[in-house]
Amino acid sequence: MPKADPKQPFKDKLAVKGHGEILEGDGLRREGVRWLRVEHEGREAWILIDGKAVGVNRCFLEPVPG
């Protein structure tokens, strides 16, 4: 997503990542919601970690020590 806002419409997504892909970025909390800040095509992008922000009771990403 182009910004850390769980209310963005799905059509604004920048890319789709598959199950098992390892993503590199910074885990941050914005307005109480956990996000992963990444770089996508040279620009800042955001991946939602905490599904509760959109009504799903699970995390979409799990941290991997690096």
Determine contact, residues 51/58, Cβ cutoff 8 Å: yes
Q: What is the Cα–Cα distance from 5 to 33, expressed in whole angstroms?
A: 9
Which pLDDT score is estimated for 20? 85
Q: Which residues pair with 34 in a beta bridge?
A: 29
Query: How many structural domains does the chain have?
Result: 1
Which pLDDT score is estimated for 4? 86
| pLDDT tens for each residue of 20-52 | 888 899 999 998 999 999 999 999 999 999 999
Residue 9 belongs to domain spanning: 1-66
Percentage above 90 pLDDT, the chain:
45
Determine contact, residues 21/63, Cβ cutoff 8 Å: no
Long-range contacts formed by 26-32: CB under 8 A, 24+ apart: 27/63, 28/4, 30/4
